[in-house]
Amino acid sequence: MALLTEPMAGSASANRERLQKVLARAGVASRRRAEELIRCGRISVNGRVVTGMGLRVDPARDRIAFDGRPVRLEKKVYILLNKPAGYVTTLADPQGRPIVTDLIRDVRQRIFPVGRLDLDSEGALLLTNDGTLANHILHPRYEVNKTYEVELKKTPARQDLRHLEEGILLDGRKTWPARLRILSRAPGRTIVEIIIHEGKKRQVRKMFQAKGFPVIRLKRTAYGDLKIGGLPSGKYRFLGKNDLKKIFSGKIPFTIKNIPD
């Protein structure tokens, strides 16, 4: 198969856009992951393997394939799931544990989770086939807040909370500022709310562990202003444009077409 490393003729057409953006819109992968797929030679356009980043394509006219399978733009789907503990946020698990998409019924599109909630954590989890949305939520540059409720055995002192708010060294890097408040306290049980816009693996658990407070239970309650509310554990609902606006403080920073309010 021929190799294509340079933009095709006519790349200035108004209908053309960067290949990695089209792949993200088609739900193949996030834009960053799509760039990796291109570099690895797993994407072809009109029968020619692509390895360069500058290619612009017209998804209505060009034949795009991923590992030889045609790539088609799907209707975008946005789902908010109240993830129970005991499910992993991957699309497959070699250990055979339940995966979050097992809970989603009657959705034909290939959806993926936006970010992580580890096996023992629960709460708000977005699933979509929109790689652009996922990138805007996960990339620290966009500073989308994620809110968690954390159950601890002991009540942190004000000084401990202040240190976590200001940022602590974690895995050799200082965490970004956070917002914390105690929601409730009782003998042997304290609930703390923490709001961060980072999303590194097991970050909230590691932050509290670093201050000597092992997490008993962790639940994500919101992305931005989009809250889990009274959605029962293991259930989900489809999101409209007004829901997505709540994630980004009222204004979606990219174009979404053909989705109801």
Please say if 118 is a catalytic residue: yes
Q: What is the CA radius of gyration of the chain?
A: 21
Q: Tell me the pLDDT of the chain averaged across its residues.
A: 88
DSSP conformation class of 109: S
State the CB neighbour count (10 A cutoff) for residue 224. 20
Domain ranges of the chain: 3-70, 78-140+228-247, 145-223
- Superfamily (CATH) of domain 145-223: Alpha-L RNA-binding motif (3.30.70.1560)
pLDDT tens-place string over residues 41-70 = 999 999 999 988 888 998 878 899 999 999
Task: Determine the pLDDT at residue 86.
Answer: 96
The architecture that CATH gives domain 78-140+228-247 is: 2-Layer Sandwich (3.30)
Q: Which residue has the higher pLDDT, 131 or 48?
A: 48
Task: Determine the pLDDT at residue 6.
Answer: 47
Cα 146 to Cα 115: distance, rounded to the nearest angstrom? 11
Task: Determine the pLDDT at residue 11.
Answer: 42
Q: Is the sign of the CA dihedral 106, 241, 74, 40 positive or negative? A: negative
- 3-70: in CATH 3.40.190.10: no
- Which two tokens mark 177? 């500022």
Whether 132 and 31 have beta carbons less than 8 Å apart is answered as yes
Burial class (CB in 10 A: 0-12, 13-18, 19+), 79: buried
Task: Check whether 2 has a pLDDT greater than 80.
Answer: no
Reported as a pLDDT band with limits 50, 70 and 90, residue 258 is low
Residues 6+ apart with CB under 8 A from 16: 10, 56, 57, 58
The label of the residue with tokens 């974690």 reads 170
Catalytic residue among 58, 62, 93, 118: 118
Task: Check whether 229 has a pLDDT greater than 60.
Answer: yes
Q: In angstroms, how far is the first alpha carbon of the chain from the final one?
A: 45
Tell me whether domains 3-70 and 78-140+228-247 share a fold: no
50: left (phi over 0), alpha (psi -120 to 50) or beta: beta
